[in-house]
Amino acid sequence: MVLKILLLLSIILQLIAVLTAIKLTKITKFNFSWMLFTIALTSMAFMRCGEYLQLVGDKNMKLPTDFFVWLGATTSVCFAVGVFFVKKIFNNITISNHIKAQTEKRILSAILSTEEKERWRFSKELHDGLGPLLSSTKMSLTALKKDELSQYNNDIVNNTLYVLEEAIRSLREVSNNLSPHTLTDFGLARATQNFINRSTKGSDIEIKFSTNLKKERFDTEVEVILYRVICELINNSLKHAQCSNITLKLFYENSIIFINYKDDGKGFNPQAVMDVGMGLSNINSRISSLKGQCEIVSSPDNGMYTNITVDISNNERGKI
Ligand SMILES: Nc1ncnc2c1ncn2[C@@H]1O[C@H](COP(=O)(O)OP(=O)(O)O)[C@@H](O)[C@H]1O
Ligand SMILES: [Mg+2]
């Protein structure tokens, strides 16, 4: 009795497995392995049916031995050959995962470069459009000052000149933040030094910056991304770390750019803060768009340490 139930159960399960294999045949675009598995599972179900019929039917009824031998052999051959074809499915999965990762990187890279182009366009518009207008207004006002003016009018002109100078200075700053002219004109090392000078003005924090970069220039995309990453690291230390010392090393050797960054601040748990802001995750995605490596090491009370390497020979355009 138990054997009968077991045989019935195995027939039902095998038929379900046959249906699943047929479905997988369609999903895997008629991969040969699933067709072979379907045949093997069907012939196994037939074998179980034969055994069941023998068990419940006339005791003298005997199914031909050939029936079982043929089905058994078909099952073995189909399973054995099917396994070889399954390998092809895994190869295809690996290839499609690789293509997906490449596409994601390309999309990210396109987003970053569009963002940079927009920043550059906006910065140029401010610098070349609004800048000269403000400067010529200042010139006219300065000319007006040469005339004999009443004390009251003179005060108004002086005040307007002061406000205009502030506006020109802040326009230059905004335009420079949007797209640093030093980076475009003089490269990564000089732009980094400029940024350090501007950010530590009037602060007690000391940034020790060392580099072996002289006049080397890299592709604009590489320079802009690394500059933005360095700025974010420095801004984070100034904003969150309560540190007193920052060390930044920027080195270039054998077509690899190394950035070592360290602060002696209060540290943080990198896993716990990944969703807090966009800064750290942007660093990771920017570096990965250059096919580089980025490691952020930190723990509470132990400061933070970042090691970044970018092999520019991995990038379509590297050193120029
Ligand atoms: N150098 C650092 N020292 C201490 N904490 C930091 C440092 N850098 C980042 N953090 C922590 O990680 C969080 C996330 O940083 P980030 O992604 O740059 O976002 P945001 O700067 O906008 O807060 C910060 O809010 C801060 O708590
Ligand atoms: Mg930040």
Could you report the per-residue pLDDT of 143-174, keeping only the tens digit for each?
888 878 888 888 999 999 999 999 999 998 89
pLDDT tens, position by position, 177-231: 888 888 988 999 999 999 999 899 888 899 999 999 988 899 888 999 999 999 9
The Cα–Cα gap between 279 and 264 comes to 19
- State the CB neighbour count (10 A cutoff) for residue 230: 23
* Tally of domains in the chain: 2
In-domain check, residue 118 = no
The Cα–Cα gap between 84 and 176 comes to 61
Give the domain-ending residue among 106, 125, 145.
Answer: 106
Mutate to test the pocket of ligand 1, among 229, 233, 237, 240 (most ligand atoms within 8 A of CB): 240
Ligand nearest to the CA of 267: 1
pLDDT tens, position by position, 87-107: 887 888 899 999 998 888 888
State which residues form the domain around 35.
2-106
pLDDT tens, position by position, 25-78: 888 776 788 888 889 989 988 888 888 888 887 667 677 788 888 888 989 998
Ligand 2 centre to CA of 283 (Å) is 10
In-domain check, residue 184 = yes
Residue 320 has pLDDT above 60, yes or no: no
Ligand 2 centre to CA of 281 (Å) is 9
Which neighbouring-strand residues pair with 310? 257
CB of 138 within 8 A of CB of 168? yes
Q: The domain that contains 247 carries what CATH number?
A: 3.30.565.10
Ligand 2 centre to CA of 236 (Å) is 5
Give the domain-ending residue among 67, 88, 106.
Answer: 106
Q: Do 320 and 193 fall within a single domain?
A: yes
Give the residue with greater pLDDT, 179 vs 315. 179
Ligand nearest to the CA of 296: 1
Position 316 scores a pLDDT of 56
Cβ contacts of 280-287, under 8 Å, gap ≥ 24: 280/232, 280/236, 282/228, 282/232, 283/229, 283/232, 283/233, 285/108, 286/112, 286/225, 286/228, 286/229, 287/225, 287/229
Which ligand 1 atom is the nearest neighbour of the CA of 237? 1
- 271-278: average pLDDT: 81
Lowest mean pLDDT among 86-95, 123-132, 261-270: 86-95
Ligand 1 centre to CA of 111 (Å) is 23
Ligand 2 centre to CA of 275 (Å) is 11
Ligand nearest to the CA of 273: 1
Ligand 1 pocket by Cβ (under 6 Å): 236-237, 240-241, 263, 265-268, 273, 276-280, 304
Position 308 scores a pLDDT of 97
Give the domain-ending residue among 106, 124, 151.
Answer: 106
- 111-124: average pLDDT: 86
